Amino acid sequence: MNTKPKIVFFDIDDTLYIKHENRIPDSVLPALLALKRQNIHIAIATGRGKIGFIHVRSSCFW
């Protein structure tokens, strides 16, 4: 039985994006790329609307 995940969900605030510092940690992009190399889908689970995280999307890896 294959127990490898096919999708991983992340929160944005203080997980992928440190909002009080207005930055994305250096560790985020390499970690997400490692998941993609394993054919694992990456998704965001957030209560924000799209407009609420557009600056996060445009500033990193989307």
Inside any domain, residue 27: yes
Identify which of 39, 50, 2 has the alpha carbon closest to the alpha carbon of residue 12: 50
Structural domain harbouring 29? 7-59
DSSP state at residue 16: T
Q: Is the CA virtual torsion 62, 26, 51, 45 positive or negative?
A: positive
> How many Å apart are CA 33 and CA 2, to the nearest integer?
21
State what percent of residues in the chain have pLDDT above 90: 16
Confidence of residue 62 (pLDDT cuts 50, 70, 90): very low
- In total, how many domains does the chain have? 1
pTM flag (> 0.95): no
Inside any domain, residue 2: no
Inside any domain, residue 1: no
Inside any domain, residue 20: yes
Inside any domain, residue 18: yes
19, 13 Cβ separation under 8 angstroms:
yes
